[in-house]
Amino acid sequence: MRPLRVGVQLPEVERVVRWPEYVAMARAAEEVGFDSIWVGDHLLYRGDGRPERGPWDAWTLLAGLACVTERVALGPLVACTAFRRPGLLARAAAAVDELSGGRLVLGLGAGWNEPEFRAFGIPFGDRVARFAEALQIIRRLFDGERVTFAADHETVSDAVLLPAPARRPPFMVGATGPRMLAAALPHVDAWNTWFDVYGNTPQGFAELDATVDQAARAAGRDPSDIERSACALVVLDRGAGERQIPDGMAPLEGSADAIAAHLQALAEAGADEAILVVSPINERSIRTLGDALAALGGRDR
């Protein structure tokens, strides 16, 4: 079993966060031993019974974080391929990877939040087909090809990434549907799932992980070649109210040893990485979770 890597998602729309606080949290994550930091890629949230809200642009934020950190991997959790033309998304990713010195993980997905698509004039239909076409273009561009491609939704003509990227960053898909897995698994290096999909339990993750094994084999891949990443809900203060706890779901909470034990159980269930989604998410929480990382032990730093 490979040592478990542990990342943390920085604030998205829990509250309005200004740049100096992002810098403080990112640097704290490096100091206490997190392996990666992540930001959501959304345009806005509305119509869910809560106040209208939206995060900063993910790629601009990642570029800034690349320049104020030195060690941690960083990436979008996950970038919606519909929000930018695939060639432009590849260019943004290449620039962030360059700024970070090769620390980007390119998380990709098809998106799900219909109101933000409609608000910004982005087609919501055929999302899986659009994702499949975009992923082919992005992957081929990072493979160094000059890409000409024409299909139902995406067209490029002799497209190329210049300056040439120093490397192809790892690709990670955030999806569980069979069509998305069939489209992504031939191309990606890792798979990620959100905590409410697998119930935030090691057993739930192991069951979902087994379906990814099957999908990988169907795609002609050795399942062991695809790393597994699990977002895990952590609640340090139930009174903070930054994250709604889904009915019937138990978050990770309690002592550092208790949180570390749950993370170790996730690793034993097949996770190569746990990305902590924390309530509240602030510098203090990140530093507090450093104790759980220390209790977990046996990890690459």
Per-residue pLDDT for 157 more than 80? yes
Q: Which residue is it, tokens 């997905």?
A: 109
Per-residue pLDDT for 298 more than 70? no
Confidence at residue 301, expressed as pLDDT on a 0 to 100 scale? 52
Q: Which residue is it, tokens 């490397």?
A: 167
Confidence at residue 84, expressed as pLDDT on a 0 to 100 scale? 97
DSSP state of 100: T
Per-residue pLDDT for 137 more than 70? yes
Bridge partners of 149, per DSSP, are 156
Confidence at residue 49, expressed as pLDDT on a 0 to 100 scale? 85
> Against a cut of 0.85, is the pTM above it?
yes
The average pLDDT across 66-86 equals 98
> Which burial class, exposed, middle or buried, applies to 242 when counting CB atoms under 10 A from its CB (0-12, 13-18, 19+)?
middle
Report the chain's mean pLDDT, rounded to a whole number. 96
Per-residue pLDDT for 299 more than 90? no
Give tens-digit pLDDT for 166-221. Answer: 999 999 999 999 999 999 999 999 999 999 999 999 999 999 999 999 999 999 99
Least Cα distance to 133 among 147, 150, 157, 112 occurs for 150
Confidence at residue 11, expressed as pLDDT on a 0 to 100 scale? 97
Give tens-digit pLDDT for 236-271. Answer: 999 888 888 889 999 999 999 999 999 999 999 999
> Which tokens in the block code for residue 162?
């210049």
